[in-house]
A and B are shown apart, each in its own frame.
Chain A
Amino acid sequence: MTAYILRRLVAIVLTLLALSVVVFVVIQLPPGDFVTSYIARISGSGESIDQATIDALRAQYRLDDPVIVQYWAWLKGMLVGDFGFSFEMKRPVSEIFASRIGNSLAVEMLAVIVMWSVAIPIGIYSAVYQYSIGDYFATIIGFLGLALPNFLFALVLMYISYVWFGVTITGLYSPEYMNAHWSLAKFLDFCSHVWAPVLVISTAGSAQLIRVLRANLLDELNKPYVLTARAKGLKKSKVILRYPARVAMNPLISVVGWVLPTVISSSFVTAIVLNLPTLSPILLRALLSQDMYLAGALILFMGFLTMMGTLISDILLAWVDPRIRLGMAGAN
Chain B
Amino acid sequence: MASPDIHEPAMSSQVEGASDYIPVGTESQWQLIRRRFRRHRLAVASLWVIALFLLVAIFAEFLSTNDPHDVQARYTYAPPQRLHFIDVQEDSGWRIQPHVFGYKVEVEPEALRRVFKIDEEKKIYVRFFVEGHDYNLFGLIPMNRHLIGTENPRDPLFLLGSDRLGRDVLSRLIYGTRISLSVGVIGVILSLVLGVVIGGLAGFYGGFFDAATQRTIEFLRSLPSIPLWMGLAAAMPPSWSALQVYFAITIILSLLGWTELARVVRGRFLALKGEDYVSAAIYDGASNLRVVLRHMVPAFTSHIITAASLAVPGMILAETALSFLGLGLQAPVISWGVLLQEAQNVRVLATAPWLLAPGAAIVIAVLAMNFVGDGLRDAADPYNNT
Contact = CB atoms under 8 A, between A and B. Distances in A.
Do A and B form a real pair? yes
Interface of A: 15, 18-19, 22-23, 26, 29-31, 143-144, 146-152, 155-156, 158-159, 162-163, 168, 170, 257-258, 260-262, 264-266, 268-269, 272-273, 283-284, 287-288, 290, 292, 295-296, 298-299, 302-303, 306-307, 310
Given A18-B219, A147-B367, A152-B363, A298 B232 contact: no
24 contacts: A15-B219, A15-B222, A23-B231, A144-B363, A147-B370, A148-B363, A151-B324, A152-B362, A261-B224, A264-B227, A265-B224, A265-B225, A268-B224, A272-B325, A283-B227, A283-B230, A284-B326, A284-B327, A287-B231, A287-B233, A287-B327, A288-B327, A299-B228, A302-B227
B73 interface: no
Given A162-B349, A288-B326, A310 B231 contact: no
Most buried by A among B222, B327, B350, B356: B222
Contacts of B111: none
B102 interface: no
A275 to B, nearest CB: 10
A5 B325 CA distance: 38
A328 B346 CA distance: 55
A149 B321 contact: yes
Which 7 interchain pairs have the tightest Cβ spacing? A29-B235, A287-B234, A264-B224, A265-B226, A147-B366, A147-B367, A26-B231
A156 B350 contact: no
Interface string B199-221: 00000000000000000000101
B231 A296 contact: yes
A146 B321 CA distance: 14
Given A15-B219, A158-B349, A265-B226, A147 B231 contact: no
Interface size bracket, B side: 35 or more
B285 interface: no
A22 B228 contact: yes
B65 interface: no
B227 A273 contact: no
Given A260-B224, A269-B226, A310-B222, 9 more contacts: A148-B363, A151-B321, A152-B356, A155-B340, A170-B346, A261-B223, A265-B227, A290-B234, A306-B223
Contacts of B221: 257-258, 261
A303 B223 CA distance: 6
A144 B364 CA distance: 9
Contact of B356 (A155, A168, A266): A155
Interface in B333-351: 340, 343-344, 346-347, 349-350
A35 B367 CA distance: 46
B237 A30 contact: yes
B376 to A, nearest CB: 16
A290 B223 CA distance: 21
Contacts of A151: 321, 324-325, 340
Given A31-B237, A284-B325, A261 B350 contact: no
A18 B232 CA distance: 16
